[in-house]
């Protein structure tokens, strides 16, 4: 569970870091893939069908936690860049330049909100990935002496 969460989390940290530099909303696309991968890898590593769904959710939460770290790092990078009024998009809309304190509060607050949503989604999809493994690889093959029902 921990190994699968850390593998998926490392990939998610890098992808969220890259995606969130462009826009924090881009990071909302990653929990689907990272969560399913974490849950499926949990089943693959542990091979215990009874606990795969629960452990997949925990592995997804670990991956989502590392994604939250990537989201916060990206928001710090964005806040440093946006402190310069020439880099702000406010002029396009005819708005005054934002104060640096507003930039920091907005970037970090938004990163925490999106990051916590990512943790919840990744945990949920991790449970789904565990269930997928459970239904495909986790079940033993049916007995060969089964006769079709008439």
Assigned token pair, 144:
């060969």
Give residue-wise pLDDT tens across range 93-108: 878 878 888 889 988 9
Q: What is residue 28's predicted lDDT score, i.e. its pLDDT?
A: 85
**Under 8 Å between Cβ of 28 and 117:** yes
Q: What share of the chain is helix, strand, coil (3-state, %, to 5)?
A: 80, 0, 20
- Whether 143 has a pLDDT exceeding 50, the answer reads no
- Extents of the domains making up the chain: 2-138
**Under 8 Å between Cβ of 108 and 14:** no
pTM for this predicted structure: 0.82
What's the whole-number mean pLDDT along residues 144-149? 55
Give residue-wise pLDDT tens across range 46-80: 888 888 999 999 999 999 999 999 999 999 998 88
**Under 8 Å between Cβ of 34 and 64:** yes
- Whether 141 has a pLDDT exceeding 90, the answer reads no
Distance CA 46, CA 18 (A): 31
């Amino acid at each position: 569970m921990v190994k699968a969460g850390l593998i998926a989390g490392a990939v998610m940290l890098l992808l969220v870091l890259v995606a969130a530099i462009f826009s924090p909303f881009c990071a909302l696309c990653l929990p689907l893939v990272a969560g399913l991968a974490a849950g499926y890898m949990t089943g693959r590593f542990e091979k215990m069908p009874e606990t795969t769904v629960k452990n997949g959710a925990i592995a997804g939460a670990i991956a989502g936690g590392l994604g939250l770290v990537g989201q916060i790092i990206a928001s710090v990078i964005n806040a440093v860049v946006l402190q310069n009024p020439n880099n702000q998009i406010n002029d396009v809309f005819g708005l005054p330049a934002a104060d640096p304190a507003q930039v920091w509060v907005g970037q970090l607050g938004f990163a925490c909100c999106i990051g916590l949503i990512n943790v919840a989604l990744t945990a949920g999809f991790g449970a789904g990935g565990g269930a997928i493994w459970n239904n495909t690889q986790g079940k033993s093959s049916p007995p060969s002496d089964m006769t079709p029902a008439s």
